[in-house]
Structures are given as structure tokens and as C-alpha cells.
Amino acid sequence: MTDKRELLRAIFDAAVAAAHPDAILAQHLPPPPQGRLIVLAAGKGAAAMAAAAERHYLDGAGFDPARLVGLATTRHGHAVPTRRIAVIEAGHPVPDEAGLKAADDTLALASGATAGDLVLVLLSGGGSANWIAPADGISFAQKQQVTRALLRSGAPIGEINTVRKHLSRIKGGRLARAGRHAAEIVTLAISDVPHDDPAAIASGPTVPDPTTLADARAVIGRYRLDVDDAVRRALDDPRNESCKPGDAVFARTRFDLIARPRTSLEAAIAVARRAGYQIADLGADLEGEARDVAAAHAQLALRARMESRRLAILSGGELTVTVTGDGRGGPNQEYALGLALHLADVDGIATLAADTDGADGGAGSATDPAGAMVDARTFAAMASKHLDPEDYLMANDATGFFEATGDLLVTGPTLTNVNDIRVILVDDV
């Protein structure tokens, strides 16, 4: 079997390119306002989205620079140069002090909007962690502790964000409430959540929230999370209920999705198809425990191999990891490790699993791995170094395993985020 890594990377790169702000944002931007343009951005693509907006309005539309203000809050290492819109790098997935200040400054900018101003909100995955504004009575440290507990619980992103929205002064429609005196609030979002729910992207700061305090309490109970008493009191306090459909604040708001996982998955599929593969499209919204999904996908690949089919198995979505060990990794690496366990020494199969933002788990560094690849080279390294993938799975140490085999995929920040891309190429050898 020839080396398939170049093709795997081309498939992944096509998915990323289909959602890059430089390619997609300008066509969705609203006309310039009569007053100020206040740009508020959050997420891993926030700085890139802000820079693209500046080019559109300042260079393309000739908008007066003095009337353009704003703040983009992005993950550490994801900043790009801007002219008028300030850029703050903040913590992700666990929030930090920079995100705390950035959220307060964002709320102040929104609150200062007047009738002639347009508030333009640019959202991408990661916005929930970047904009951290704890509800009254909750300390920053307590909010961090809740975030860590949720991330380790194995809860899907929708449930994680249900809790976040009810412990926040900016999420769950509250940013729209802060900017209610603007002429209009327009939100343009890159979706990183299954089924593209606007209320889940960056925890829905400008849209109505259908979830409730009771839902948030149920998540805490379902995963038996050990949280501070102050958090429990906050989730019992009616004042922390999020903004609901029908609230007058949403009368002058507009929300548009400008990129979604389905479009990126289709771009990836097109590359695989052009390379001569039949396609098994498993969908853009997969959820579940990473190792369990890997086991199921491995069986699909083994069946195709037995049938001598040349097949590309592709999927998107956002898998989860219930952390019980003390290793390093993320859901894509754990998925790839699961494949290594079930496909060991099978010829003719090569795989890639990676997050389109360029970071899968990790410590919040721009050099964190995006995911991993698995093929015959992986199996050779496993044999020569006596590596047991099951041991690494038990320790949740996918990063350690793929460091040892040399199969980590490191892309650096991609400046967008439409969830994961997973590819299994099966060849007839």
C-alpha cells in the first residue's frame, strides 16, 4: 500500500479551507451603519473574522475608521494583526483572567451602543471559554472549577453549555440584552456544534435560550459533579435564568450561520471521491464516547477490507472523553487510539482524526496537536517499541502513545472551527 498521509492531510485541509473566515465572511456582512460599527468577536476564529471584517468595511466600503471600534477575544496563539479592533488572547478550554476582563470590556462596548450603531457579533467555536463573565455570587475560581469538571465528565457540548449559560452574565442571550439600545445586533457564526444550534454556539450570547436552570441542575446531577455550594445556589436563583424566546431584546437581532460542519465534510468528501474512493458518509453531527465510536468505525473498515472495497469512511461532529486516567489527549486522539487498537496489523487502512481548529485537547498552547494519523507505520512502531494501545486508553494518554509512534498531527491554529474531521481510507491491496 502506498503512503496515504498526503491524501489524508489534503482531505483535512479541504475541510478547513471551506470554513476559513477569509473565504466566507465578506459575503454575509451587513451594510455599514449610520453611526458606529461595534465589532464584538469571540472564539478561535475571532481575530481572523475581525481582520476580514476590517478589510471589508475599511478597504472595500470606505467606512470611516473613526467609527469602527471593537474587541476580538480568541484563544492563545490565534491572534492575527488588526487595525481598529483590539485583539485579546484568552484561555481555552479552561478560561483565564484575560477572558474575564475581555468579557467585561465586551459587555461595556455593547452597553454603550446607541440608536444609530450596529453591533456586529462574530462567533466561532471556543467563544464559551473565551467570554467568561461569572454570574453574581460566583467567583472566577469557582467558574473555572465547574468548567474543568464538565470537561472531564464526558458530557456532550450541549449539556456543558447549558450549565455555562446559567452561570454567566454574557451567555444565553445576555450580550443582546446589553446591546439593546443599538439600531441592530447582527450575529455571524461559524458553527462548531452538532446540528448547528444557535443557542449552543459560544453558548448563544445573542439568541434566545430554550434551556432552563432546571436543565442545568439536571446536568450537574446526571454526571454527579462535585461543585461548590455557591454554584448550586446560583443554579437555584431565578435571577440567573437565561433570556427566553419572546424577549423584546431580540426584536432587533439577526443571526446567520456562515459556515457549518456539513459544508466542510462535503469538501472533504469531494477530495476523497476525486481520489477514486467510494464514500461512506456517516454525517457531520456524530456524538458519543470517542473510543466507542472508534470501535464501531473500525468494524466498518474491516468489513470493507474483507469485501475488497476501496472505501473512504468520513464523519464529523464532536466526540467526548470521560476522563478517568491522568494522561494527555483529546477526543480525536482517543478515537485514533481506539482505531489503532482494533485495526492493528491490518493492511490497507489509513486514518486521520483531527479538530478543524488545529487543537485537540492539550494545555491551551498553539503547538497542541490537532489529532493523529494511524497506518502501517503506526503498527510498526507499536511492535518495535512494545506499545499496547489498550494500556494507553486506560490512562487516557493518547498523546503519549502517538508521541511514541510519531503520529501526532500538528497543524497550528487554523483560525476557524467546524468541529472534527475523521477519515478512514480502506484500499484493496
Amino acid at 354: A
Amino acid at 310: R
Question: How many domains does the chain contain in total?
Answer: 2
Q: CA-CA distance, 409 to 356, in Å (whole number)?
A: 11
Q: CA-CA distance, 111 to 178, in Å (whole number)?
A: 5
Exposure of 185 in the CB half-sphere (CA atoms within 13 A): 30
| 354 within some domain | yes
| 156 within some domain | no
Beta-bridge mates of residue 186: 120, 254
Secondary structure of residue 230 in the 3-state scheme: helix
| 149 within some domain | no
CATH number of the CATH domain containing 277: 3.40.1480.10
CATH number of the CATH domain containing 249: 3.40.50.10180
For the stretch 270-273, contacts whose Cβ atoms lie closer than 8 Å and that sit 24 or more positions apart, written own/partner, are: 270/14, 271/7, 271/10, 271/11, 271/14, 272/7, 272/11, 272/312, 272/314, 272/423, 272/425, 273/312
Q: Which of 299, 301, 287 is nearest to 4 (CA)?
A: 301
Show pLDDT as tens, one digit a residue, over the chain (429 residues).
Answer: 579 999 999 999 999 999 999 999 999 999 999 999 999 999 999 999 999 999 999 999 999 999 999 999 999 999 999 999 999 999 988 889 999 999 999 999 999 999 999 999 999 999 999 999 999 999 999 999 998 999 889 898 889 999 999 999 999 999 999 999 999 999 999 999 889 999 999 999 999 999 999 999 999 999 999 999 999 999 999 999 999 999 999 999 999 999 999 999 999 999 999 999 999 999 999 999 999 999 999 999 999 999 999 999 999 999 999 999 999 999 999 999 999 999 998 999 999 999 999 999 887 888 999 999 999 999 999 999 999 999 999 999 999 999 999 999 999 999 999 999 999 999 987
Does residue 254 sit in the same domain as residue 122? yes
Does residue 381 sit in the same domain as residue 279? yes
Does residue 194 sit in the same domain as residue 270? no
Range of the domain at 98: 20-133+168-208+243-259
Does residue 99 sit in the same domain as residue 28? yes
Q: Which residues contact 125 (CB under 8 A, 6 or more apart)?
A: 43, 44, 45, 190, 191, 192, 193, 201, 202, 357, 417, 418, 419
Last residue of a domain, one of 230, 259, 288: 259
Residues 358 and 326: beta-carbon distance below 8 Å: no
Does residue 194 sit in the same domain as residue 285? no
Does residue 250 sit in the same domain as residue 290? no
Q: Which of 203, 118, 114 is nearest to 158 (CA)?
A: 203
| 157 within some domain | no
Concatenate the DSSP letters of all residues of 239-251 into one string. Answer: GGPPP-TT-GGGG
Last residue of a domain, one of 200, 226, 259: 259
Strands 408-409 and 371-374: antiparallel
Secondary structure of residue 93 in the 3-state scheme: coil
Does residue 192 sit in the same domain as residue 60? yes
Does residue 330 sit in the same domain as residue 415? yes
Does residue 247 sit in the same domain as residue 318? no
Does residue 289 sit in the same domain as residue 253? no
Does residue 292 sit in the same domain as residue 251? no
Does residue 341 sit in the same domain as residue 399? yes
Eight-state DSSP code of residue 125: T
